[in-house]
């Protein structure tokens, strides 16, 4: 392979694209607007690295089974470097409640049900140092790309290079050329705008999740252990008006997220204040054990991020690529609500799909079409499931805001659907076989919901349905204050 590939953006998807392409023999140059990570450990990177190009850098990340298994299959030595930096490998057995753990017998496939727990700072810095050592990859930092250079080719365009922003020109020149250009510049990509300006408009599916996402980071004091996993009260869930989650991290660090519907003005204001944020979290039984007096320190103030959307961009329109030799991966191509922790996994999968296509197919038009088809086949089901979850989340938040009862089931069909959902939630808490299936879906190790095609799983769930909806419904209810109680709590907090 003598082709030179230029990747714009050295975030998670960019670096994984570089890795995957270099393993297939391509020469890769990466162009990154931000500086390289600072010397030192995860704390140096977390606290000191100016990461303006990836606004989500300091928000906690879950690294799901899909990503973990892809890394393990392709770069096992990289995983060792993650562990050495403090990342933890959490296996299926570690996720079980004490009751389920007592019944646990290993089954085929359990070895794939694992996740990494650490701050994104570890993943990015370790990945970055690993990529830098590879001879076929060059990373240029501090280079801001400001345009796509194309030539007309039949009825479409052919990408031939990128334009460098004026303030970087002295160092890097005005343009850089390559055989293939990859947009890995993330959620704020400008490539669609540049394509449109050249007469090739990218069509876009774009749905707001209508939430704002707030984070605060903490560290357990020396000698303090994490609260046990798998207890009755869950450390992540949905109170209707507020979604929450604890992210255990590396080296005693952990983070808590609180997500609020855009319309929750009072709570959104309150959550920006550190003591109100903590008070809100302590009022939720599944989160409170993490914030016991004297056991932790807060390492940041709360901070938020908005513009949470499900976005899917089409670079092949009416069966024709908008530009050949141009590909978008990761968030630049598609993104899902971060609440589900899927972006890095779909980004790495996308990177590997691109490397496969570029090494298997040489005709430029066929490359674009095959990449588009494989992206649709592999990632569209995940995107569709995420969008459906967003729509249900919005309905729950609005019902809660208007103090309306939730999910009654107006027709027999919808009542049955809800009864099935309750039974599934109950079964996943009490039955290992169902939990395994559900975690395969959560970790993107199979197409969403595929485990429900299994007849044993269906029979178990049916058995739980026969217990009656009232019994099962408890599994979906999260303990915590209702909206009115929470508003009173933050009101008292602001008076204090």
Ligand X SMILES: Cc1cc2nc3c(=O)[nH]c(=O)nc-3n(C[C@H](O)[C@H](O)[C@H](O)COP(=O)(O)OP(=O)(O)OC[C@H]3O[C@@H](n4cnc5c(N)ncnc54)[C@H](O)[C@@H]3O)c2cc1C
Q: Residues in the site for ligand X, rule: CB under 6 A?
A: 8-14, 31-34, 53-54, 56, 59, 61-62, 144-145, 184-187, 213, 305, 330-332, 335, 338, 341-345, 347
Asked if 489 and 283 touch (Cβ cutoff 8 Å), the reply is yes
Pick 66 or 461: Cβ nearer ligand X: 66
**Angle, helices 274-282/483-495, rounded to nearest 10 degrees:** 140
Q: How far is the CB of 19 from ligand X (least distance, A)?
A: 12
Q: How far is the CB of 283 from ligand X (least distance, A)?
A: 23
Q: How far is the CB of 54 from ligand X (least distance, A)?
A: 4
Q: How far is the CB of 130 from ligand X (least distance, A)?
A: 15
Asked if 89 and 69 touch (Cβ cutoff 8 Å), the reply is no
Pick 33 or 440: Cβ nearer ligand X: 33
**Residue 82 CB-density burial (10 A; 0-12 exposed, 13-18 middle, 19+ buried):** buried
Pick 62 or 424: Cβ nearer ligand X: 62
Q: How far is the CB of 193 from ligand X (least distance, A)?
A: 11
Q: Which two three-digit tokens encode residue 265?
A: 């003005």
- Separation between Cα atoms, residue 214 and residue 209, nearest integer Å: 14
Residues in the chain: 496
Q: How far is the CB of 297 from ligand X (least distance, A)?
A: 23
- Separation between Cα atoms, residue 299 and residue 216, nearest integer Å: 8
Pick 63 or 426: Cβ nearer ligand X: 63
Pick 240 or 330: Cβ nearer ligand X: 330
Q: Number of helices (H) and strands (E), helices first, in the chain?
A: 17, 22
Q: How far is the CB of 131 from ligand X (least distance, A)?
A: 12
Pick 161 or 330: Cβ nearer ligand X: 330
**CA atoms within 13 Å, Cβ hemisphere of 16:** 28
Written as one string, the DSSP assignment of 155-193 is: TEEEEEEEEEPGGGHHHH-SEEE-SEEEE--GGG--HHH
Q: Which two three-digit tokens encode residue 340?
A: 């589900």
Residues pairing with 238 in the sheet: 243
Pick 379 or 465: Cβ nearer ligand X: 379
Residues pairing with 91 in the sheet: 114
């Amino acid at each position: 392979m003598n082709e030179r590939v230029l990747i714009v953006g050295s975030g998670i998807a960019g670096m994984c694209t570089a890795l995957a392409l270099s393993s297939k023999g391509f020469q890769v140059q990466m162009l990154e607007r931000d500086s390289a990570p600072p010397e030192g450990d995860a704390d140096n990177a977390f606290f000191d690295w100016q990461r303006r190009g990836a606004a989500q850098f300091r928000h906690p990340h879950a690294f799901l089974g899909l990503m973990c298994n892809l890394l393990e299959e392709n770069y096992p030595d990289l995983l060792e470097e993650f562990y050495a930096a403090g990342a933890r490998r959490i296996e299926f057995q570690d996720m079980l409640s004490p009751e389920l753990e007592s019944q646990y017998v290993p089954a085929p496939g359990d070895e794939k049900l694992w996740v990494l727990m650490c701050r994104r700072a570890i993943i990015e810095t370790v990945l970055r140092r690993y990529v830098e050592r590879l001879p076929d990859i060059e990373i240029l930092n501090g280079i801001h790309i400001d345009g796509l250079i194309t030539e007309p080719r039949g009825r479409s365009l052919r990408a031939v290079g990128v334009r460098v922003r004026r303030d970087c020109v002295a160092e890097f020149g005005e343009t850089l050329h390559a055989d293939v250009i990859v947009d890995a510049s993330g959620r704020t990509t400008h490539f669609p705008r540049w394509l449109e300006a050249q007469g090739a408009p990218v069509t876009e599916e774009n749905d707001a999740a209508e939430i704002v996402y707030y984070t605060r980071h903490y560290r357990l004091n020396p000698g303090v252990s994490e609260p046990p996993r798998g207890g009755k009260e869950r450390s992540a869930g949905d109170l209707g008006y507020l979604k929450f989650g604890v992210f255990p991290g590396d080296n005693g660090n952990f983070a808590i997220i609180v997500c609020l519907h855009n319309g929750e003005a009072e709570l959104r204001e309150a959550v920006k204040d550190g003591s109100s944020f903590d008070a809100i979290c302590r009022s939720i039984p599944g989160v409170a054990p993490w914030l016991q007096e004297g056991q932790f320190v807060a390492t940041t103030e709360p901070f938020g991020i908005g513009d949470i959307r499900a976005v899917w961009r089409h670079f092949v329109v009416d069966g024709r690529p908008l530009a050949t030799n141009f590909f978008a991966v990761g968030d630049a191509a598609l993104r899902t609500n971060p609440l589900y922790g899927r972006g890095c996994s779909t980004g790495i999968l996308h990177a590997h799909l691109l490397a496969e296509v570029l090494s298997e197919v040489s005709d430029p038009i066929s490359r674009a079409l095959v990449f588009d088809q494989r992206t649709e086949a592999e990632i569209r089901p995940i995107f569709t499931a995420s969008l459906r979850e967003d729509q249900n989340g919005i309905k729950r938040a609005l019902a809660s805001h208007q103090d309306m009862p939730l999910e009654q089931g107006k027709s027999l069909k919808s009542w049955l659907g809800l009864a099935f959902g309750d039974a599934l939630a109950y079964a996943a808490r009490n039955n290992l076989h169902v939990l395994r299936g559900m975690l395969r879906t959560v970790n993107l190790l199979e197409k969403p919901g595929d485990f429900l095609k299994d007849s044993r799983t269906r029979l178990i769930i049916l058995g739980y349905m026969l217990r009656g909806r009232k019994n099962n419904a408890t599994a979906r209810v999260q303990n915590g204050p209702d909206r009115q109680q929470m508003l009173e709590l933050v009101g008292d907090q602001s008076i204090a």
